[in-house]
């Protein structure tokens, strides 16, 4: 989702989209505040947001062992998911700063801050982006004690950290260091900490034995030519990446970079190189990326309207605010098709392609994906030219007419977890012949932006 400080330039476009007002099919729209699922999907549990952060919205999720870490604009919460049917919150840390996207590694939790704060502490207050003393970047917590996480380190980065991607070291370095690729975008001459041209990413090196010494180790230029500036419908010119998904064991990464989709060679962790690049006139904002397990395909998402517009309707159509599926052959992208949920949403519902993950089914390409107030969709892109939905979960329009919905939806050890803006954490299960074998695949950690391959029975 677009961070608030950068949203000013998008207001006109979002309003225009939200106000299209053409009719949707009423039969597709559930009654207000009603949970609806496909026959093969079960809503197992909803856990309301814990009181300390109940007033701010949920964002991303990371998993490790028997715990889920849910980011929130007001901080983050840790949930015990040992028994998913009885999942419960263990603790919440109040530490405001959008978006507080999370990633976990060992006893370390990394959180992204992309709003200007008075300082790096959890007691900081928000500032305007043109304030000279503003801080934004990455906060690092020790989560060895799940009931009482400890804040141990911050790293300031240029333009803050809209999202972050953890990349393990290679070879002997794997036991010594992890690297955090920091994505951010939309510079302005009036922002002291985010001056144009912002054509790079920040890479933080984190020594595992001394995480308090973590620091920015490189700021490689990704777009020496300035990136995409002329694409029709592009809300903002390319000036950094929104999200990067690393597939470290294959030494590649996919970048969703505003007006461009890119493929990186990350064999040198501190010096990623762009090896392929594509654009699409139907894409307004390249938001995120997911590789197939064999890395022969990649799914890019288009966050048309910045997450605040009603784009899942007849007026917008099936090819905008959607997923684009590409084959990767000889290191280059080949477009195959689009996928968008086939159910129209009410014009009061913000709905667009957002965060999702693979469901580990051997021999097939299946993922679950959040669509804000479009809920979540389970879909199959094994045939890249003919993707299809196989299951879904959603809530009807909010009775108060407001927005919200599921920000991120990920599959972890037999269950789907959805972080809803307002409703908290949803636990969902799918029972379908196409996905049932995934229940036998177990993993000890899931950071969706740090893909790891799966085999039958184990990650």
Query: Tens digits of per-residue pLDDT, 181-213?
Result: 999 988 888 888 888 888 899 999 999 999 999
**Greatest pairwise CA separation for the chain in angstroms:** 59
Q: Which domains does the chain have, with CATH numbers?
A: 4-446 (2.130.10.10)
Dig out the tokens for 84 from the structure: 């998913």
Confidence of residue 457 (pLDDT cuts 50, 70, 90): low
Q: What is the dihedral of CA 178, 183, 187, 193, to 10 degrees?
A: -30
User: What pLDDT does residue 10 have?
Assistant: 35
Indicate if the pLDDT at residue 12 is higher than 50: no
The dihedrals phi and psi of 168, each to the nearest 5 degrees, come to -65, 155
For CA atoms 11, 243, 237, 309, the dihedral sign is: negative
Going by pLDDT thresholds of 50, 70 and 90, the confidence category of residue 21 is very low
Mean pLDDT of 408-421: 98
The pLDDT value given to residue 349: 96
Has residue 23 got a pLDDT over 90?
no
Decide if pLDDT at 27 tops 70: no
Task: Centre a 10 Å sphere on the Cβ of residue 22 and count the other Cβ atoms it contains.
Answer: 9
Q: How confident is the model at residue 408 (pLDDT cuts 50, 70, 90)?
A: very high
Q: Residue 232: what pLDDT?
A: 61
Confidence (pLDDT) at 186: 84
Which one of 13-22, 215-224, 232-241, 406-415 scores highest in mean pLDDT? 406-415
Tell me, what's the pLDDT at 11? 33
Specify whether the backbone of 372 is left (phi greater than 0), alpha (psi in -120 to 50) or beta. Answer: left
pLDDT at 1: 67
Does residue 305 contact residue 351 with C-beta atoms inside 8 Å?
Answer: no
Q: What is the pLDDT of residue 206?
A: 98
Span 344-395, pLDDT tens digits: 999 999 999 999 999 999 999 999 999 999 999 999 999 999 999 999 999 9
Residue with tokens 């405001």: 96
The whole-model pTM stands at 0.94
User: How many residues appear in the chain?
Assistant: 459
- Ramachandran assignment for 15, one of left (phi > 0), alpha (psi -120 to 50 degrees), beta (any other): alpha
Question: Which pLDDT score is estimated for 365?
Answer: 98
Q: Outline where 125-248 has alpha helix (H).
A: none
Dist CA 391 CA 43 (whole Å): 12
Q: How many CB atoms lie within 10 A of CB 8?
A: 12
The pLDDT of residue 4 is above 60: no
Here the contacts of 16-22 (C-beta below 8 Å, separation 24 or greater) are 17/304, 17/305, 17/309, 17/310, 17/311, 17/316, 18/305, 18/308, 18/309, 18/310, 18/347, 18/350, 20/310, 20/313, 20/315, 20/316, 20/347, 21/315, 21/347, 22/313, 22/314, 22/315
pLDDT value for 198: 86
- Locus of tokens 């299951």: 391
The pLDDT of 205-229, averaged and rounded, is 91
d(CA 85, CA 435): 19
Q: How far is CA 335 from the centre of its chain?
A: 22
Per-residue pLDDT, 256:
96
Look up residue 177 and give its DSSP letter. Answer: E
Q: pLDDT tens digit string along 140-178?
A: 999 999 999 999 999 999 999 999 999 999 999 999 999
pLDDT digits 0-9 by tens, 37-53: 999 999 999 999 999 99
Residue 104: half-sphere exposure toward Cβ, Cα within 13 Å: 25
Query: Which ranges of 258-376 would DSSP assign to H, the alpha helix?
Result: none
Helix (H, G, I), strand (E, B) or coil at 14: helix
pLDDT for residue 317 is more than 80: yes
What dihedral angle (degrees, nearest 10) is formed by the CA atoms of 13, 14, 19, 21?
Answer: 100
**Are the beta carbons of 110 and 181 closer than 8 angstroms?**
no
- The pLDDT > 70 percentage for the chain reads 92
The residue written with tokens 């715990």 in the block is 67
Query: Lowest mean pLDDT: which of 75-79, 226-230, 328-332?
Result: 226-230
- 93 in helix, strand or coil? strand
Q: What is the pLDDT of residues 250-308, one digit of tens each?
A: 999 999 999 899 999 999 999 999 999 999 999 999 999 999 999 999 999 999 999 99
N-terminal to C-terminal alpha carbon distance within the chain: 29
* Contact present, 154 and 164 (Cβ < 8 Å): no
**Cα 43 to Cα 185: distance, rounded to the nearest angstrom:** 36
Q: Could you tell me which of 400, 428, 442, 314 has the C-alpha nearest to residue 38? A: 428
Q: Which pLDDT does position 227 carry in this prediction?
A: 74
pLDDT in tens, 423-433: 999 999 999 99
pLDDT band for 459, please (50, 70, 90 cuts): low
Do the beta carbons of residue 77 and residue 50 sit within 8 Å? yes
Which residue is it, tokens 């892109």?
381
SS3 457: coil
Q: How confident is the model at residue 9 (pLDDT cuts 50, 70, 90)?
A: very low
pLDDT at 8: 35
Beta-strand relationship, 58-64 and 41-47: unpaired
CA 370 to chain centre: 9
């Amino acid at each position: 989702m677009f961070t608030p400080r950068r949203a000013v330039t998008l207001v006109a476009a979002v309003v225009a989209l939200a106000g299209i007002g053409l009719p949707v099919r009423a039969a597709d729209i559930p009654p207000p505040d009603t949970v609806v699922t496909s026959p093969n999907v079960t809503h197992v549990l909803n856990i309301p947001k814990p009181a300390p952060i109940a007033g701010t919205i949920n964002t991303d999720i990371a998993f490790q062992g028997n715990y889920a870490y849910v980011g929130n604009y007001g901080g983050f919460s840790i949930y015990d998911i040992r028994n998913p049917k009885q999942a419960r919150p263990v603790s919440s840390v109040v530490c405001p700063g959008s978006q507080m996207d999370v990633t976990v590694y060992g006893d370390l939790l990394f959180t992204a801050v992309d709003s200007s704060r008075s300082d790096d502490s959890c007691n900081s207050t928000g500032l305007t982006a043109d304030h000279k003393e503003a801080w934004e970047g990455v906060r690092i917590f020790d989560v060895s004690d799940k009931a009482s996480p400890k804040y141990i380190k911050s790293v300031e980065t240029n333009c803050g950290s809209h999202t972050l991607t953890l990349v393990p070291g290679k070879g002997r370095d794997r036991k010594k260091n992890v690297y955090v690729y920091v994505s951010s975008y939309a510079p302005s001459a009036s922002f002291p900490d985010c001056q144009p041209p912002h054509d790079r990413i920040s890479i933080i090196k984190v020594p595992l034995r001394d995480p308090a010494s973590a620091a920015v180790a490189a700021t490689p230029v990704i777009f020496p030519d300035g990136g995409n500036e002329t694409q029709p419908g592009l809300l903002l010119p390319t000036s950094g990446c929104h999200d990067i998904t690393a597939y470290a064991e294959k030494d590649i990464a996919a970048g969703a970079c505003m007006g461009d989709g890119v493929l990186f060679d990350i064999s040198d962790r501190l010096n990623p190189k762009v090896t392929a690049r594509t654009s699409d006139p139907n894409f307004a904002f390249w938001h995120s990326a997911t590789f197939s397990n064999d890395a022969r395909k990649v799914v890019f998402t288009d966050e048309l309207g910045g997450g605040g517009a009603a784009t899942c309707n007849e007026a917008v159509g099936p090819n905008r605010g959607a997923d684009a599926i590409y084959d990767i052959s000889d290191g280059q992208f080949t477009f195959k098709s689009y996928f968008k949920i086939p159910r129209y949403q009410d014009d009061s519902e913000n709905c667009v392609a957002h965060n999702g993950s693979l469901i580990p089914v051997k021999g097939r390409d299946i993922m679950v994906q959040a669509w804000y107030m479009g809920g979540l969709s389970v879909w199959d892109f094994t045939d890249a030219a003919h993707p299809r939905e196989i299951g879904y979960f959603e809530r009807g329009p909010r009775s108060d007419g407001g927005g919200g919905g599921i920000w991120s939806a990920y599959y972890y050890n037999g269950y789907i977890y959805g972080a809803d803006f307002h409703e908290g954490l949803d636990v969902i299960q799918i029972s379908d012949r196409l996905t049932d074998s995934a229940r036998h695949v177990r993993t000890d950690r899931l950071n969706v932006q740090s893909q790891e391959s799966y085999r039958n029975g184990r990650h």
